[in-house]
Each structure stands twice: as structure tokens, then as C-alpha cells.
Chain A
């Protein structure tokens, strides 16, 4: 293994799970999250020599977010062709998942997963991945005021969802 490969391996060791969890928050499918995370790293390493930013992690997050949203957009189109029922059938959780013992942590995560994508992503990036407002604004290419108002709304919705589920 040459030096560059060692460097790439180190990057994946450091950020792999981090990125995969962000992707999972969008697509909610383990195998898909793995595929998209692999694509994220391939894209990053293919253009590595062009990277001039301050934070490699933030760049990886941006690629991962864009890839995840591309998938969601194409899945949205497929949904309108195939119909919701078929898609739901294909993605229904296994029996094993259904009988998993639920903890408080599971409840909170489940509540977050119930939020619409645009609120889920803000909570994920701000609280879970601890990006600043500016970093989120750069990643999502939306102005900071929009991010702040969306974050306020997301927090309200999450609180309501958590209260509803006791």
C-alpha cells in the first residue's frame, strides 16, 4: 500500500462512521447508507488534489449530504411512478427490527427520524454533528437566517414529537 492509500485509509478510519451516520439520517436504510458513504469517499479521493478548504470533514459532509439528497430526489420520482404502497412494501422493516427492545435513546432517535427531511437534517448537523450555523449554511447553500429559523422550527417539532410519544 503506498503513502496515498495509507492516507485515504486513515481518513476513512477517522470519518467513515461519522459520514455513514449522517447519510443514514437521510436515507434510513443501512445498506443504502453504506453505498452512498462509499461513493462519498470515492468522490473525495478522486478530487483530493483539488481540495483547498480548511476542513476535510466539512467537505466530506457536504458531499455526503448532496449524494443523499440526490438519492432522495430520484426515490421521490420513483415513488410517483410505482406508488407509495409498493415502495413501502419494499422497505418494510424486518421482524427482527420490529421486536427490538426500545430504550429512551431509541425513542428520541425514532422521533427525530419522523421529522421531515429538512428539519431532521438541521438537527443532525447542528446537534449530532456539531456544525456551526455558518458551516451548515455553507453545506446546505442556504443563508444563515434561513438556517436559524429552520433550526428553531425543527427544535419545536422534535419537542412536540417527543412529548407525544411520552
Chain B
């Protein structure tokens, strides 16, 4: 079937009734040109709307500027006189505009941190490490080790050991499938990898913290950057902290949080979620993390001999 089938594939597809119905018609082309016209007209109108006022403003600035310097020369015999000591109103204006510039820059950096966390998978190709995870509501302590690669060959695994009856689980993913393996029960669950995002259950909240960013950083006013240049586990981090929204507090039965975000990748190296009384109710502490190092060959598929499928 091979060669001949694929050599003639294009022709077969072109002749199929499903695709012969797909034509880009004259009406569609006209709609494109019409839309371009409209966009160009709108842009032209915007430019013309501002042309008059801008040229008036420029003229005014020129005249005022000339007058200001002229007066300065007459008054002090100096060519330039812009000292803030002599012009307190300018100094105050400078201070408050400095504050608002700082606030703007801070907002930009907050946006940048959130974006970094949402797209962490774009900032590294391999990762390997271990961390501990704790959730007090269910008295869960978990130790997780993981290794993954986002370049060819694409895949990874993680093992998780919890204090719940010594439960041990493994998680694997490759290009095509995800496996969840219960090592204690010798059972497993296998699903198609939908290729939406790389998924490796126990490490997702740290290595791909998109959901943490969405859930906790939604309201920009409720959190701030505590430190821009801290260090943790040999890596440079931002420390950010804030309060959950009213809805978030109810949903998560939590009050506030602190995140340690890796500056290079957006990985959430550490986090603490606090209850109403300030106690830590949910936390993740990284013990080791290596990023973009060569990984020795490892198996992206579990050996499931003797395991029962739960599908």
C-alpha cells in the first residue's frame, strides 16, 4: 500500500467531494478587501483627528519653551535654570510622576511574572528534580521525583511517595499517551495525550504553573512583588505574595499565599498557602532542580507486566 498510496494521496484528496466544496469564493475576497478599506479609512480618520491639535500643541510648546528660556536668561543670567530647589512645583510633580512611573513599571513586571508562569514550558527544554508537597486538609505529605524532556524525544516521568498508607504512584507521558500507575495496587490507567499542554500530574503545579498563575494572580491589585532578586536552591527568584479574592478564599479555604518564582523559567520553585490564622495549609518545597541539562536516556513508557488496566 505504502508508496503508491501516499503518492496519490494529494490527488485523492483534491477529488474528494468533501474538499472540492472548499473554494475561496469571489464574495469572500470582496469581504477581505472591504475590511481592509474600512481599517485603512479608520486609521486615516484617527490620524486626521489628531493632526490639528498636535500641530497646535507643538507650536504652543515651541513658543512657551522659547519664552521660558528667555525669561530664565534675563532673570538669572544663566543659560539654564531648571533646578528643582527653585521650582518646588516641578519637583513635586517629578516625585509624583516618578511614583506613578514606578507603579507602572511594577505593574509591567507583575504582568511579566504572571506571563512567565503561564508559559513556563516555553522557557526550558529539560528538567529534573525533587520536591516535597504538603496539604494539611487531608494530612498529605508527598515526595516527588521527576525527569522530563520537552524536545525530541518528548516525554517524562514522575514518582510520588505519600504518607497515605505508603502509597507510591508513577506517572509517564510521551508524544502519544499518558499513564498513571498505582505501584501499590499494581493497576494503571492510560489515556491519549491530547497535546494541549505537557501534563505530568504531580509536577504540574510547580513545573507548569499556569493554573496557579490563573487561580492566584488573577487580581493584579491583590498581590505584590516582595523581592526582585532573591535566591533559592541556587536559582534567582522573584518572591511574590498576596491575598486571594473573596471567591478564591471560599473556593480554596485559604486566605493568602507566597510564591518563589524562578526568574529564568517561571517554574514555581516553592509556594506556601496560608489559612485565616496564618498557618501554612498547602506547600511545595523544591529540594533539587536542574534545568536544560543533558538527561541520560530513560524510558518514557512504563513496564506494565503484571499490572491491571483500569480502562
A interface residues (Cβ-Cβ under 8 A, vs B): 5, 8-9, 12-13, 16-17, 19-21, 24, 30, 33-34, 37-38, 41-42, 45-46, 73, 76, 100-101, 103-106, 108-110, 112-113, 116-118, 123, 127-128, 130, 143, 145-146, 149-150, 153, 155, 159, 162-163
Contacts and interface: CB of A to CB of B under 8 A. Distances in A.
B196 A12 contact: no
A20 B152 contact: no
A109 B33 contact: no
A150 B174 CA distance: 12
Given A38-B31, A143-B151, A150-B175, A16 B24 contact: yes
B247 interface: no
Interface in B278-303: none
Contacts, number: 106
Nearest to B31: A38
Q: Which secondary structure dominates where chain B touches chain A?
A: helix
A38 B32 CA distance: 6
Given A5-B33, A21-B22, A159-B5, A145 B152 contact: yes
Interface residues of B, number: 35
Contact of A30 (B9, B13, B21, B153): B21
Contacts of A30: 21-22
Contact of B154 (A24, A73, A146, A162): A146
Interface in B1-47: 1-2, 5-6, 9-10, 12-13, 15-19, 21-24, 28-29, 31-33, 35-36, 39
Given A9-B33, A38-B31, A42-B36, A109 B19 contact: yes
B152 A108 contact: no
Contacts of B15: 103, 105
Q: Which 4 A-B pairs have the closest CB atoms?
A: A16-B24, A109-B16, A105-B16, A145-B152
Given A21-B19, A155-B6, A38 B12 contact: no
A12 B36 contact: no
B264 interface: no
Contacts of A127: 6, 9-10
A128 to B, nearest CB: 5
Contact of A146 (B17, B18, B35, B152): B152
A10 B149 CA distance: 45
19 contacts: A5-B36, A8-B33, A17-B23, A17-B24, A21-B22, A33-B22, A38-B35, A42-B32, A42-B39, A45-B32, A103-B15, A103-B17, A109-B16, A109-B18, A128-B9, A128-B10, A153-B175, A159-B2, A162-B1
